[in-house]
Copies of this chain bind each other. A is one copy, B any other.
Amino acid sequence: MLQLSRYPFHTLKTVPQTSDNRSTGLLLQAGFVRQEMAGAYIYLHLGLRVLENIKRIVREELDAIGCSEILMTSFGTREHWETTGRWDTMDNLFKVEGASGKYYALNPTHEEIVTPLMQEFIQSYKNLDNCAVYQFQTKFRNEARAKSGILRGREFLMKDLYSFHRNSEDLDIFFEEVRKAYVRIYERLGLGESTRYVFASGWAFSKYSYEFQTDLGIGEDDVYVCSKCGQAHNEEIIDPTGFVCVECTSKEHFIVQASEVGNIFKLGTRFSNAFGLGYTDAEGKKQEVVMGCYGIGVSRLMGVIAEKFMDEKGLVWPENVAPFSYYMIVIGDHLEEAKKLAKKLESEGATVLIDDRNTGFGAKAGDTDLLGIPYRIVLSDKTLAQGGYEFKGRKESESRIVIL
C-alpha cells in the first residue's frame, strides 16, 4: 500500500499549458508523467505502475502462445544495419559515435539484432517448431519534431515480437495466433470494442501489413471502414480515385479518426535473406526462413487509454490497467483502521493507495477523480459510526456504506 503522506509527488491544481492533447495534460496534472524533452517522457510512480500493468497483460498473452521473453540491446552494430541496407535508408535512425571512432545505431526496431541472434539457434527445421521471441525495450526515433504527447516520441517503450518459420503457411498459422492474442490484449486493456483490425501498407515486405487502430475521435490516422463488410483500411492504401473495399469491393464507407495501438507484419524473407539465415529441411535441403514481426507501443497505449476513457473530472483507468484499484480517503484519526482494511483488500489481490495527507475531504476527493482510480473508499468518524466505510466507483455518482 502507498501512503500519500510519504509520497514525494503531488497533483497540480490546473492542467499545464504545455500539453499536446487533453489526456497528456491530465497525465501531467495527475502526476503520471513529466517531459524531459520533446518526445521523451519520465514516468513518475503512478505512470510506471500503469506501464507495468500493460506489460503484464501483454506478457501473459504472448507467453500463453509460447513466445519467449528476452531483452536485446539499445545499441545495434553498424555492420548489422549495413547488412540489411538500412543504415543509410532508414528514416529517423539515431547514429552514435563511440570513443573508438566506431558508429552504432540506437535501435528503433530490432530485425537487425534478432535475425543474427537467432541464426545461431536455427539450423534445422526442428528448430522452427516454436521459434518466437519478444522483448520490452526502449526504442529511439530521430524525429525532427516530436509531437502528440506520449503518443509519438524520440524515446518510447515498445513490445516487439519476432517469429521464424519454415514457410509462409507456418507463418500464416502463427500470425493468426498472434492476431488473436492481440485481440485478447486489447480486450483486457478495455479497448476491445473500440479497436479495429486495419489493412495497411505492406511497404517493401508484403502487399499489406495489419494494424490495430483504436477509435479516439482524434489521432494521426484516418481509417476508412467499409459500410458493407466492416473491414477497415488505413488511408495509405486507399486508391486515389476512390475507396474500394479490399475484402468485398464495396465503395460505401465511412471514416473514423483513430490511433495505432499495434501492428503486425509478414516480413517474409527480407531479413533472413540479408543475413543468410536458412535452415535444412527434412530432406536435407537448404531452405529460406520466413519471418514475422509484431509490435505494441506500450507507452503509447497508456496515452491512448487515458484519452479514450477520460471524463470532465479527470482520468478513468480500466481496472486491469489502473495504478491502484482503491483510493482510500482517511478523514480524522483512522489511519490504523485504513491500513488494516488495505491489508485485507491486498490479501484479495487488490492494490491500495491511502490518502492520509493533512488536507480536507474536497482536495482528496478531487484527486481520486483526477487520478482515475476505479474505486474510492472513505473512512471517517461518520462512516465508522455506521459500522463501515463509504464506497463509490469512479463512474458512479452515488456512494454507499459497506459494513466492515
Contact = CB atoms under 8 A, between A and B. Distances in A.
Interface of A: 5-10, 34, 36-37, 40-45, 47-48, 51, 66, 68-77, 92, 94, 96, 98-100, 104, 106, 113, 117-118, 120-121, 127, 129-133, 138, 140, 142-145, 154-155, 164
B37 A75 contact: yes
B117 A42 contact: yes
A75 B36 contact: yes
B42 A71 contact: yes
A121 B44 CA distance: 12
A41 B71 CA distance: 9
Interface centre among A9, A71, A130 (most CB of B within 10 A): A71
Given A36-B75, A70-B44, A154-B75, A144 B8 contact: no
B154 A98 contact: yes
Say how many copies of this protein the assembly contains: 2
Contacts of A129: 5-6
6 contacts: A9-B121, A34-B120, A42-B70, A45-B133, A47-B71, A98-B154
Contact of A106 (B10, B45, B96, B145): B96
Contacts of A145: 100
Contacts of A154: 75, 98
A349 to B, nearest CB: 16
Contacts of A71: 42-43, 47-48, 51
Interface centre among A51, A73, A131 (most CB of B within 10 A): A73
A99 B131 contact: no
Nearest to A2: B68
Given A98-B142, A106-B96, A73 B155 contact: yes
A70 B45 contact: yes
Contacts of A120: 34
Contacts of A96: 94, 96, 106
B155 A75 contact: yes
Contacts of A36: 72-73, 75-77, 113, 117
A98 B40 CA distance: 13
Nearest to A154: B75
Nearest to A49: B69
Nearest to A129: B6
A16 to B, nearest CB: 10
B68 A9 contact: yes
A70 B132 CA distance: 30
B143 A99 contact: yes
B43 A99 contact: no
Nearest to A39: B75
Contacts of A42: 70-73, 113, 117
Interface centre among A34, A74, A99, A154 (most CB of B within 10 A): A99
Contact of A68 (B7, B76, B121): B7
A69 B98 contact: no
A118 B69 CA distance: 34
Contact of A130 (B8, B45, B66, B68): B8
Contact of A8 (B44, B73, B104, B131): B131
Given A98-B142, A100-B145, A104-B37, A45 B68 contact: yes
B75 A40 contact: yes
Nearest to A75: B40
A174 to B, nearest CB: 13
Given A42-B71, A72-B42, A73-B40, A66 B6 contact: yes
Given A6-B66, A36-B72, 6 more contacts: A8-B132, A36-B73, A42-B117, A43-B70, A45-B68, A74-B140
A76 B120 CA distance: 36
